[in-house]
Amino acid sequence: MGRKNKLLVPEARAQMDELRKKVSHTNAASEAKFEAAKEQGVPLQHGYNGDIKAKDAGKVGGHIGGSMVKELVRMAEKQLQEKNK
C-alpha cells in the first residue's frame, strides 16, 4: 500500500530535487525531510520509521510540500510580473 512519489514528467526530477534543497536550506535533497523533521520536533531517523505517528509524518511532508508550493507560486508571480513589463 506504499505510495510512490511519481512525477508526471520524470525528466523534472532533478529540478524538483533542486527546489526541495532550496526551500529546505540543505545541501542535499535527500536530507530535506530530516531537516524538516528536526524543525517540527519529529524523531525521524535514517532507515525504518514505521513507529512514528501518521500525524508526525504528515507534519514533515506537509512542511516540505507547502514550502515548495509557496516557492513555485512566488516564481510564477515573478514571471507574470516580468512578462507584463
In order, the DSSP letters of 22-84 are: HHHT-SSGGGHHHHHHHHHT----SS--TTS-HHHHHHHHHHHHHHHHHHHHHHHHHHHHHHT
More confident site: 53 or 64: 53
Please check whether residue 68 lies inside any domain of the structure.
yes
Which structural domain, as residue segments, surrounds residue 35? Answer: 12-83
| Tally of domains in the chain | 1
- Position 73 scores a pLDDT of 93
Q: How confident is the model at residue 1 (pLDDT cuts 50, 70, 90)?
A: very low
Q: How far is CA 58 from the centre of its chain?
A: 12
In a domain, 22, yes or no: yes
Q: What is the pLDDT of residue 3?
A: 57
Does the residue 5 lie in any domain?
Answer: no
Mean pLDDT throughout 43-53? 87
For residue 3, being part of any structural domain is answered with no
Higher pLDDT, 84 or 2: 84
34 falls within a domain: yes
pLDDT at residue 5, rounded to an integer: 66
- Report if residue 52 sits inside a domain: yes
Evaluate whether residue 58 is within a structural domain.
Answer: yes
